[in-house]
């Protein structure tokens, strides 16, 4: 027997689902199926670089399991491991289409649950999502930079709770943190441990992984970041949409501009045009919704809503969402889909 609040929640979710299903559909375009660099390679993760290229990390099936391991606490919850269960050989590829245009071999990668991004001069950045701080040993290093020949040249700590990592052509590294990275976990933020590195919610690092800029706690009207839900890096400019009120904020250099957002919450990706913005995702039934809004002087105004589908009209599968400028990229396994905001209308 459901409690009254459970019945109300279920009824509300059913209404939202019916509303979303009634929206006009908008099909994403299938750009490519990423081809592995070796027979038998398994895709571990993929993202999109500053030039709109896909960048992917591959390993063997056993290697993939080592790089994505989790730990379940008895009677509690499952947490991603901060380190791979064993050092693993991987390959990083860049793609403009299906076939890789570049392959970098990395030996003995020890980070887990990683994001991979390109850096200038053929370098590769690999960042683990989780990072422990321990009283006896301090902070783990959860970021590694490799040369174009796969040689490790730099290790650094970027903090725990990393949701987004996006680099720029100039070598800046933008990192957005989810709530545990902001408020603390994995040893950070306790009475006798340091404040979480990601307490600001959004940080820009230099190419050698030094802090260059932090999202300010005060001095602006858009509120602090409790969880950086969405991040878009276009050129050297970043756009963020974050919990709790989901404002849209643009960071150009160190200058910030923002818009109040009363039209969409739970936004998981933001694509930007000259005067419009596409807000993709949301809570529950809204996870595949795209809301297009105009950017006014201080707030967003809804222009239209759509339900995104695959080219054949079927529902979107689980996918990594990456926004770069005016394009939304969806990486569902080896399939690479995209939607330019210019195609909406």
Rg (CA), the chain: 20
User: What stretch of H or E contains 7?
Assistant: helix 4-21
Q: What mean pLDDT do residues 6-28 have?
A: 84
18: left (phi over 0), alpha (psi -120 to 50) or beta: alpha
Q: Are residues 205 and 326 in the same domain?
A: no
Distance CA 315, CA 288 (A): 8
210 assigned to some structural domain: yes
Phi, psi of 17 (to 5 degrees): -65, -40
Grade residue 104 by pLDDT with cuts at 50, 70 and 90. very high
| Residue 73 pLDDT | 80
Q: Are residues 144 and 203 in the same domain?
A: yes
11 assigned to some structural domain: yes
Distance CA 344, CA 339 (A): 8
Which has the higher per-residue pLDDT, 10 or 299?
A: 299
| Residue 2 pLDDT | 64
| Residue 18 pLDDT | 87
Grade residue 1 by pLDDT with cuts at 50, 70 and 90. low
| Residue 321 pLDDT | 98
Q: Outline where 79-192 has alpha helix (H).
A: 179-183
232 assigned to some structural domain: no
Q: Are residues 154 and 301 in the same domain?
A: no
Contact 32, 54 (CB under 8 A): yes
Q: What mean pLDDT do residues 280-291 have?
A: 96
The Cβ-side half-sphere exposure at 110, using a 13 Å CA radius, reads 8
- Say yes or no to pLDDT of 52 above 70: yes
Q: What mean pLDDT do residues 201-220 have?
A: 97
Specify the residue for token string 């650094």.
156
234 assigned to some structural domain: no
Q: Are residues 59 and 193 in the same domain?
A: yes
User: What stretch of H or E contains 44?
Assistant: strand 42-48
Of 214, 245, 265, which residue sits at a domain end?
214
Distance CA 25, CA 289 (A): 9
Buried b (16+ CB within 10 A) or exposed e, 192-217: ebeebbbbbbbbbbebebeeebebee
- Say yes or no to pLDDT of 75 above 80: no
- Through-space distance between the first and last CA atoms of the chain, rounded to whole angstroms: 45
Beta bridge partners of 154: 145
| Residue 22 pLDDT | 87
239 assigned to some structural domain: no
311 assigned to some structural domain: yes
Q: Are residues 137 and 266 in the same domain?
A: no
Q: What mean pLDDT do residues 160-166 have?
A: 98
Sheet containing strand 114-118, edge to edge, reads: 114-118, 124-128, 143-146, 152-156
Q: Are residues 111 and 140 in the same domain?
A: yes
Lowest mean pLDDT among 62-76, 171-185, 313-327: 62-76
The Cβ-side half-sphere exposure at 180, using a 13 Å CA radius, reads 13
Q: What mean pLDDT do residues 13-24 have?
A: 85
Q: Are residues 14 and 85 in the same domain?
A: no
Distance CA 308, CA 321 (A): 13
Of 158, 190, 214, which residue sits at a domain end?
214
Q: Which domain holds residue 126?
A: 40-214
Q: Are residues 175 and 87 in the same domain?
A: yes
Which SS3 state, helix, strand or coil, does residue 221 take? coil
Statement: the pTM of the whole predicted model exceeds 0.75: yes
Q: What mean pLDDT do residues 59-87 have?
A: 93
Q: Are residues 99 and 179 in the same domain?
A: yes
Phi, psi of 112 (to 5 degrees): -125, 155
Mean pLDDT of the chain: 96
Which two tokens mark 208? Answer: 């050698």
Number of domains the chain is built from: 2
Q: Are residues 73 and 184 in the same domain?
A: yes
Grade residue 117 by pLDDT with cuts at 50, 70 and 90. very high
The Cβ-side half-sphere exposure at 102, using a 13 Å CA radius, reads 16
Q: What mean pLDDT do residues 155-179 have?
A: 98
Distance CA 100, CA 53 (A): 10
124 assigned to some structural domain: yes
201 assigned to some structural domain: yes
Q: Are residues 102 and 194 in the same domain?
A: yes
Specify the residue for token string 């943190």.
177
Q: Which parts of 283-345 are beta strand (E)? A: 289-295, 300-309, 320-324, 327-332, 335-340
| Residue 275 pLDDT | 95
Distance CA 55, CA 166 (A): 11
Which has the higher per-residue pLDDT, 315 or 10?
A: 315
Distance CA 345, CA 40 (A): 42
Of 158, 183, 214, which residue sits at a domain end?
214
Residues in the chain: 345
Which two tokens mark 33? Answer: 């199926």
Nearest to 93 by CA among 80, 103, 84, 85: 103
Which two tokens mark 206? Answer: 């230099």
| Residue 244 pLDDT | 97
Phi, psi of 276 (to 5 degrees): -120, 170
Q: Are residues 87 and 12 in the same domain?
A: no
């Amino acid at each position: 027997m459901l409690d009254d609040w459970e019945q109300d929640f279920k009824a509300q979710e059913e209404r939202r689902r019916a509303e979303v299903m009634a929206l006009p559909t908008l099909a994403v375009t299938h750009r490519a199926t990423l081809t592995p660099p070796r027979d038998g390679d398994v895709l571990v993760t993929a993202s999109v670089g500053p030039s709109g290229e896909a960048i992917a990390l591959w390993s063997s099936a056993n290697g993939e399991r080592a790089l994505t391991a989790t730990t379940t606490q008895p009677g509690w919850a499952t947490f991603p491991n901060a380190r791979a269960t064993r050092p693993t050989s991987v390959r990083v590829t860049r793609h403009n289409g299906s076939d890789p245009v570049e392959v970098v071999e990395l030996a003995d990668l020890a980070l887990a649950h990683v994001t991979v991004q390109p850096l200038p001069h053929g370098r590769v950045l690999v960042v683990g999502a989780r990072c422990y701080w321990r009283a006896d040993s301090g902070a783990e290093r959860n970021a590694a930079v490799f040369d174009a020949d796969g040689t490790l040249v730099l290790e650094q700590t970027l903090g725990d709770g990393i949701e987004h990592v996006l680099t720029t052509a100039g070598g800046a590294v933008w990192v957005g943190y989810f709530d545990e990275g902001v408020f603390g976990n994995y040893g950070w933020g306790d009475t006798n441990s340091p404040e979480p590195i990601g307490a600001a919610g959004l940080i820009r690092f230099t190419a050698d992984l030094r802090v260059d800029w932090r999202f300010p706690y005060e001095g602006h009207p858009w509120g602090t970041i409790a969880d950086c839900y969405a991040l878009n890096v276009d050129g050297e400019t970043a756009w963020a949409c974050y919990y709790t009120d989901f404002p849209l904020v643009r960071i150009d250099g160190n200058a910030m501009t923002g818009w109040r957002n009363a039209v969409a919450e739970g936004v998981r990706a933001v694509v930007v045009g000259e005067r419009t913005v596409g807000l993709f995702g949301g809570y529950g039934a809204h996870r595949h919704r795209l809301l297009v809004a105009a950017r006014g002087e201080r707030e967003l105004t809804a222009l239209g809503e759509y339900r995104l589908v695959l080219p054949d009209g079927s529902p979107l599968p689980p996918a990594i969402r990456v926004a770069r400028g005016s394009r939304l990229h969806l990486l569902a396994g080896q399939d690479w889909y995209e939607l330019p905001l210019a195609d909406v209308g």
